[in-house]
Every structure is written in C-alpha cells, then in structure tokens.
Structure 1
Amino acid sequence: MSKFNLDTKDAVLFIIDIQDRLVKVMKYGKQIIDKTNILISASEELKLPIIYTEQYPKGLGGTVPELQERLETAKKFEKVNFSAYLEEVKKELENTGRKKIIITGMETHVCVFQTARDLIENGYDVFIVSDGVCSRTKEDYKNGLSLMRDMGAVITNTETVVFDLLKKAGTPEFKVISKLIK
C-alpha cells in the first residue's frame, strides 16, 4: 500500500505548463489555477520541493501570473518536448532523493500523460491530481486519466493529497493548510 501513501519527506509537487495561452482555451483553467495554488501553499508549509515547466514559452506565454508570483523559490524548466521528464528535471528529482511525484497541469492527455509515463517507467510513484489537471475536451481529459491509471499512476484530488500529507489534525501545519480547503 506504500504506493498510495504520501509522506512529506518523500514528495515533490510538479506543475506542468499552466501557461497564459493554454489556460485561455481550457474550460476549467481557473479551477486548475485555484487547486494548484492550494497545493503550492501546502507544499510551502510542509517544505516539499516544487518543480514547474513551461512548454515553448515564446509561443504559449509564461506561467500564469497567479502562480508565477508564488513560484519564486521553485525550480523552473523550459521545454519543447511534451514530456516534462527532461534530463535536467531527472537530475533535479534525483537530487531531492524523493520518489513520490504529485502532478498538476495541462494537458492531461499530452504533457501530463507523457510525463507520468516517463516518471513511472523510471521508478517514481505518480499522483495525478484529477481536479488539478485538464484538457481542452472532456473526452481527452478522461482518456488521459484512464491511460495513467492503467500505467500505475494514483488518480487522486487536491483534498486527498493535502490531508494525506498532513496525516493528522491539530498540528500548526493543519491549522494553516485547513483554511485553504474551506
């Protein structure tokens, strides 16, 4: 059951391509930003490393300002590959020594899917935040989630991730983070 268990000492938040021009064509773009903001806050409070990517920022714009302003200490990687498991990302993940990757981003059936596939193939446990990823169409979103579940990814949601990382109520971290969920 350890595959389904998130621990603050072994987890990384990985944000994939939540960029200006992509968000504009996503029906659930605002939800993805909101859920990712919750996960950023929880990651900061619980001291999880944060990695994020931008797909061809010259053409798709940078990370949306609502997230960018929160990611000053996170590690950023630009890419043209659809998979965000770049050589530089591989090295960054190895340097953390952590094996559980929490993923939010766009699009579920392309960059998120290919990244999850590469991470799983390289021995990582992948947690796809279902309310933190999206595609332009519902069919593509559902297909992406289905493919990743079949590959062995854990399909989860923001609240499950946050409360699994917290483990219990009454801690100082719980008091800060629980306010984000309400």
Structure 2
Amino acid sequence: MDKFKLNSEETFLLIIDIQERLVNAMKYGEQVIDKTDILISTAEELNMPVIVTEQYPKGLGSTVPQLESKLKSGKKFEKMNFSVYIDEIKNAIEETGRKKVIITGMETHVCVFQTARDLINNGYEVFIASDGVCSRTKQNHLNGLDLIKSMGAVITNTETIIFDLLGKAGTPEFKVLSKLIK
C-alpha cells in the first residue's frame, strides 16, 4: 500500500508548463492554476522541493504570474522536449533524493503523459493531481489520465494529496493548509 501513500520527506512537486499562452487555450486552465497554487503552498509549508518547467517559453510565454510569484525555492527549467526527463532536469530530480512525485501541468496527454512514463520507467512513484492537469479537449485529458493510470501512476486530486501529506489534524501545518481548501 506504500504506493498509495504520500509523505513530505519522500515527495517533490513537479509543475509542467503552466504558461501564459498555453493557459489561454485550456478550458480548465484557471482550475489548474488554482490547484497548483494550493500545491505550491503545501510544498512550501512542508519543505518539499518544487521543480517547474516551461516548454519553449519564447513561443508559449513564461509561467503564469500567479504561480511565478508563489515560487520561493523552486527550480525552473526551459525545455524543448515534451518529457521533462532530460539530463538537466533529471539531475535536479535526482538531487531531491526523493522517489515520489506529485505532477500538475499541461497538457495531460502530451508533456504530463510522457513525463509520467519516463519517471515510472526510472523507478519513481507518480501521483497525478487530476484536477491540477488539463488538455485542450476533455477527451485528450481523460485519455491521458487513462494512459498514465495504466502505467501504474496514482490518479488522485489536490485535496486528497494535501490531507495524505498532512496525515492528521491539529498540527500547525494543518491549520495553515486546511484554510486553502474551501
């Protein structure tokens, strides 16, 4: 059952390509931003590493300002590959020393899917925040989630992730993070 359990000491947050021009093409782009914002706050509160990628920022823009302003300690990388599992980013992932990864971002059936596949293939346990990823079409989003689940990832949601990481109520972290879920 360890495959389905998150804890902050073994986990990092990976934010894939939530960029200005991509968000504009996504029906659920604002939801993805909001859920990712909550997960960034969670990672910061629980001292979890954060890695952010941008797909071809010259063409797709930078990470959206709402998230950019929240990233205090995250490492950001530009990329051209759809999968983030390329040398420079792979090294940053390995440097976290953690084998569980929570993924948010765009698009579910392209960059998120290819990244999940590469991470699983290299021994990582992948948790997809289903409300924190999207595609331009609902069909592509659902197909991406289905493919990722078939490969062995855990398809979950932001609220389940937060409460799993917290483990119990009444802690100082719970008091901070429970306010984010309304």
Sort the TM-score into its range (normalised by shorter chain): over 0.9
Question: In the alignment, does 2:77 pair up with 1:77?
Answer: yes
Aligned length: 182
Q: Deviations over 1:99-154 (max 9, x none)?
A: 00000000000000000000000000000000000000000000000000000010
Asked whether the equivalents of residues 49 and 73 of structure 2 are also in contact (C-alpha less than 8 Å), the reply is no
Residue 141 of structure 2: aligned partner? 141
Residue 61 of structure 2: aligned partner? 61
Mean CA deviation greater in 82-91 or 133-142: 82-91
CA shift in 2, pair 1:70/1:140, >3 Å: same
Runs of 4+ in structure 1 deviating by more than 2 angstroms, as ranges, are none
- For 1:23 and 1:76, the matched residues in 2 are separated by 18
- Letter of the structure 2 residue corresponding to residue 152 of structure 1: G
In the TM superposition, 1:13-162 aligns within 5 A as 13-162=13-162
- Letter of the structure 2 residue corresponding to residue 108 of structure 1: T
- Letter of the structure 1 residue corresponding to residue 87 of structure 2: E
- For 1:72 and 1:16, the matched residues in 2 are separated by 17
RMSD: 0.6
Residue 3 of structure 1: aligned partner? 3
Give the 3-state SS of the residue equivalent to 1:6 in structure 2.
Answer: coil
Mean CA deviation greater in 82-91 or 41-50: 82-91
Q: In the TM superposition, what is the alpha-carbon distance from 1:73 to its structure 2 partner? A: 1.8
- Letter of the structure 1 residue corresponding to residue 149 of structure 2: R
- For 2:63 and 2:31, the matched residues in 1 are separated by 15
Give the 3-state SS of the residue equivalent to 1:140 in structure 2.
Answer: helix
Give the 3-state SS of the residue equivalent to 1:82 in structure 2.
Answer: coil
Q: In the TM superposition, what is the alpha-carbon distance from 1:72 to its structure 2 partner? A: 3.5
- For 1:127 and 1:83, the matched residues in 2 are separated by 16
Mean CA deviation greater in 79-88 or 169-178: 79-88
- For 2:73 and 2:44, the matched residues in 1 are separated by 10
Output the TM-score relative to the length of structure 1.
0.99
Asked whether the equivalents of residues 37 and 67 of structure 2 are also in contact (C-alpha less than 8 Å), the reply is yes
Mean CA deviation greater in 125-134 or 90-99: 90-99
Q: In the TM superposition, what is the alpha-carbon distance from 1:158 to its structure 2 partner? A: 0.1
Give the 3-state SS of the residue equivalent to 1:81 in structure 2.
Answer: coil
Identify unmatched segments of 5+ residues in structure 2: none
- Letter of the structure 2 residue corresponding to residue 121 of structure 1: N
CA shift in 2, pair 1:170/1:72, >3 Å: closer
- For 1:46 and 1:72, the matched residues in 2 are separated by 13
Aligned sequence identity (%): 70
Asked whether the equivalents of residues 82 and 110 of structure 2 are also in contact (C-alpha less than 8 Å), the reply is yes
- For 2:71 and 2:175, the matched residues in 1 are separated by 22
Mean CA deviation greater in 8-17 or 87-96: 87-96
- For 1:95 and 1:59, the matched residues in 2 are separated by 29
